[in-house]
Structure 1
Amino acid sequence: MPNYSEKTDKELIVLLKDNNHNAFKEIYNRYNGLLFAYAYKRLQVEEEAKDVIQEVFIGLWENRANFILKTYLSGFLYKSVLNKILNIWKHKRVIRHHVLSLSLEVDVDSEETDFLIREKDIAALVEKEIAAMPPRMREVYELKYRQYMSVKQIANDLNISENTVATQLQRASAHLKNKLGVVVFAIYMLQR
């Protein structure tokens, strides 16, 4: 029996499209904890975060036959979770609006909107700086932080030494700290 934990995300997607339950299980095991932490950090309600993650994975399974991975699986999953969270916030805002329209006193704050604007701005700034990296550095960085590959896996995939991978990752971090500033870089690292 193949070891699915050693397969890349792209290999798992190919297997998933062929109705492979073990590939789906590996994707779930690989990303469930990370996605839950991401959702819970934003929603602050455990049950809502669990529901969001469940909906994302159900959607992935139900649409597996037509699923086309255009970028990275991790990016797709995080974006799916964020979209579900935005829908929850939108729904809550609609409820608040109706409550306000009934002249009930409700303390409506714009904290969520401010957070989304700041998060979007930081993400756009980070993406711009990642795109400006030299090609090999960018490739190593994306494999590490978007594909969640280990240094050893990256070295094997790119046919370079582990020291070279480590050096590229250090340079990428230094590049981002230099371009973004230490505070923005720290916020970005906390959000990952």
Structure 2
Amino acid sequence: MLLPNNPKQFEETFNEYWEVLYSAAYVRTKDQAVTEDIVQEIFIDFWQRRNEIKIKTSLKAYLLTAVKYKVIKHFAHSHLFLRNTEEHEEIAMFDNDNLEFEDLYDELEIAIDKLSPRCQLIFRMSRIEGYSTDEIASQLNISSQTVHNQLSKSLGIVRNELKHLTPLVILLIKL
């Protein structure tokens, strides 16, 4: 996949995706300032690392996964997930893991690749692109119950594949 390698291409990419990223982040944070910061950080990082990034799916899916990762980091740092000391230790482990977004993205892609093609499609539509069960059912011309069943199966497999990661990272697939 060709990534933007000059300012004009980057601007086109930004203009194409910023609203989608903003919406995905805002739904999760409900905070305009935080959402703007998250989207800005994603695009700054994307531009700075444009020569190193290897995208295995679509650019949109990659950027939406980046949103989820940044939202998790935001909540971890703002201590909204802290209910007890044990969870605090999990967050500390998450921060110290040196498990960067690229590593998480690769791990998630490896797990998704273990799904059947239909499960992969439904998982990506739901967890990466943010479609509802009914929207997926409508687009794929299948019942909502079939989507639900396939999604449950997919989530079980992906969770099992990612169980070696910090529990907080598993939120990446829940958000």
Q: Give the TM-score of the pair, scaled to structure 1.
A: 0.48
Per-residue CA deviation, residues 68-109 of structure 1 (Å, 9 max, x unaligned), is 11111111101111101001111122795699xxxxxxxxxx
Larger helix proportion of the pair: 1
Decide whether aligned partners of structure 1 residues 179 and 26 sit closer, same or farther in structure 2, where only a CA change above 3 A counts: same
Distance 1:38 1:66 in 2: 25
Q: What's the secondary structure of 1:37's corresponding residue? A: helix
Name 1:89's counterpart in structure 2: 75
Q: Structure 2 residue aligned with 1:72, among 58, 71, 75?
A: 58
1:39 paired to 2:25: yes
Extract structure 1 runs of 4+ deviating beyond 6 A.
none
Name the Cα RMSD after superposition.
Answer: 3.9
- Structure 2 residue runs of 5 or longer lacking an equivalent are 86-110, 130-135, 152-175
> Number of paired residues?
113
Q: What are the residue-to-residue correspondences of 1:17-166 with 2, within 5 Å?
A: 19-93=5-79, 96=82, 131-132=117-118
Name 2:90's counterpart in structure 1: none
Distance 1:49 1:29 in 2: 16
Decide whether aligned partners of structure 1 residues 55 and 178 sit closer, same or farther in structure 2, where only a CA change above 3 A counts: same
Residue type at the aligned position of 1:37: S
Name 2:141's counterpart in structure 1: 174
Per-residue CA deviation, residues 123-157 of structure 1 (Å, 9 max, x unaligned), is x9xx957x228xxxx6xx98xx96xxxxxxxxxxx
Following superposition, the deviation at residue 43 of structure 1 comes to: 0.1
Decide whether aligned partners of structure 1 residues 90 and 176 sit closer, same or farther in structure 2, where only a CA change above 3 A counts: farther
Decide whether aligned partners of structure 1 residues 83 and 176 sit closer, same or farther in structure 2, where only a CA change above 3 A counts: farther
Q: Give the number of the structure whose alpha-carbon radius of gyration is greater.
A: 1
Following superposition, the deviation at residue 173 of structure 1 comes to: 2.1
Q: Percent identity?
A: 23
